[in-house]
Amino acid sequence: MLRLLSAIGLGAAAGGLIGWIATGDPRYSMFWGIALTIGLLAGTASVFTTSRRAVAAATDPTGELALARVERIRRTGMTINDQPQCVLVLTVAPRHRAAYTTVHREIVDLVALPRLQPGCVVVVRRPVESKANVVLVMDPPDDWERLREAERLRAGADRTIPLAATAQAWPSEPETLLGVPKATSNPLHAVVFALVLVIAAAATLVPAYGTIGRSITAIAAGDPAAAGVVEGDRHDEIVDALVREVGGPQFTSVGFYDGYALATAPSTPGALTIDDYQYRYDRTEHQGPELIQPDDPAAELFDVTAVDFTQVRELIAAAQHESGIADPESVIVRFQRAGVADESGSRPVQAMVLLDSAYEDASVTFDATTGAVVSRS
């Protein structure tokens, strides 16, 4: 279960990181950090749980006990709770097979180090008969303690443990951090882990699929800016989403920017108090009261469903032609009623296109209905 949770956490973290890079959405930024923490904690817990189970299996009384002599010992530099991990070269003398030499790693209690110096005789347990791996038994049963002491006093041909030079080398299987044999890995487990990780990443990215798809399409078409809001082709879709958030089509302004759109509209349908609304990261948000309330809100309102927002890209191109700014660094298009009435006495809806480049900027205002240029500056 912990391994599965780790796969879900790491997959969600990978998806969150990709989503953050692709969209810039701060929710992904926060999410992937939390998911990564959960994945790492679960993975670490899984490793130690597996190690504890392996230790329990390795110290099972049914494992064969044997005498062994320490030939060499060195520290690896790793410590756990100030206890060093050591590498020991041992000559092991099992009762029912030929003696052999092997290399063993284990976390050793500092108090036990004097009993593990070269030449010392120790008792070990062989968890698996078919493997060379051993586990140190620093507190053996009384009969084995007597055998260990007797072996320590023997010399020459009387030794139970032969000289290392005469024993066959038998490498130990890979060991865990705690010095016990690693459990045999099941390839199916790795496949399931990878599959769960990929599914978690894919599920995390579901809200960003639209943004990522638009970015890929725009880059492939050689027009990365088309993936944004103002220079994209989703203006009607964005306005429709804002209408649903506002609860009606009456707005006082709609503005399109590089990565988002802003609108001002009644706090509730029919109200004469104006609030701010935002479209960003493919979702809308009601941001609260507009900082500067209009003197006559009713006169500022217009029906956004009567405006053709598909002309935004054409208006941008026309503004570039009128201003001579062919490659602006920033583009903003804002729709609102004209500040003064025209000859008919009405205040038509206008589209103001703001262009900004490294050396100059320009503002071109169009009639939102006819597309005619009203003013430029």
pLDDT per residue as tens digits for the range 302-325: 999 999 999 999 999 999 999 999
Q: Does 326 score more than 70 pLDDT? A: yes
What confidence tier does 372 reach under pLDDT thresholds 50, 70, 90?
Answer: very high
Residues 6+ apart with CB under 8 A from 166: none
Q: What is the CA radius of gyration of the chain?
A: 37
**Rounded to two decimals, what is the model's pTM?**
0.64
Orientation of helix 209-220 relative to helix 2-23, angle to 10°: 50
Q: Which residues of 73-112 are buried (b: 16+ CB within 10 A; e: fewer)?
A: beeeeeeeeebbbbebbbbbbbeeeebbbbbbbbbbeeee
Rounded to the nearest integer, the mean pLDDT of the chain is 89
Please give the pLDDT value at position 335.
Answer: 97
Reported confidence tier of residue 182, pLDDT bands at 50, 70, 90: low
Range of lowest pLDDT (182-186, 191-195, 328-332):
182-186
CA-to-CA distance for 317 and 307, rounded, in angstroms? 18
| Structure letter (DSSP) for residue 183 | P
Alpha helix (H) residue ranges in the chain: 2-23, 26-58, 142-153, 187-204, 209-220, 235-246, 297-300, 312-323
CA-closest candidate to residue 323, choices 350, 349, 353 = 353
Residues ≥6 apart with Cβ < 8 Å to 6: 39, 40, 42, 43, 46
Please report, for the chain, the start and end positions of each structural domain, with discontinuous segments joined by +. 2-56+185-209, 62-169, 228-376
Average of per-residue pLDDT across 222-226: 79
Is pLDDT at 337 greater than 90 in this prediction? Answer: yes
Do the bridges between strand 168-169 and strand 283-289 make them parallel or antiparallel, or are there none, so unpaired?
unpaired
Cα maximum dimension of the chain:
122
Let me know: does 98 contact 168? Beta carbons within 8 Å: yes
Q: What is the mean pLDDT of residues 5-18?
A: 90
Residue 24 Rama label (left phi>0; alpha psi -120 to 50; beta) = left
Tens of pLDDT along 246-305?
999 999 999 999 999 999 999 999 999 999 999 999 999 999 999 999 999 999 999 999
Q: How confident is the model at residue 342 (pLDDT cuts 50, 70, 90)?
A: confident
Can you read off the two tokens belonging to residue 136? 């140190």
What's the average model confidence in pLDDT over 6-17? Answer: 90
In this predicted structure, the answer to whether residue 55 has a pLDDT above a threshold of 70 is no
- Helix %, strand %, coil % of the chain (to 5): 40, 30, 30
Tokens linked to 124: 């070990």
- Cα–Cα dist 102/104, whole Å: 6
* SS3 state of residue 202: helix
* 49 pLDDT more than 90: no
Q: Cα–Cα distance between 82 and 237 in angstroms, integer?
A: 62
| Band of residue 62 on the pLDDT scale cut at 50, 70, 90 | low
Contact yes or no for 50/1 (Cβ under 8 A): no
- Checking if the pLDDT of 59 tops 90, the result is no
The residue ranking higher by pLDDT, 32 or 121, is 121
pLDDT band of residue 341 (cuts 50, 70, 90) is confident
pLDDT at residue 332, as a whole number: 96
- How many whole angstroms separate alpha carbon 76 and alpha carbon 87? 7
Tokens of 45: 């817990």
Q: What DSSP designation does 164 have? A: G
- pLDDT over 80 at 177, yes or no: no
pLDDT at res. 155: 84
Helix, strand, or coil (residue 115)? helix
pLDDT of res. 236: 94
Tokens in use for 95?
A: 């009762």
| Residue 350 near residue 375 (C-beta atoms within 8 A) | no
Which amino acid makes up residue 249?
A: P
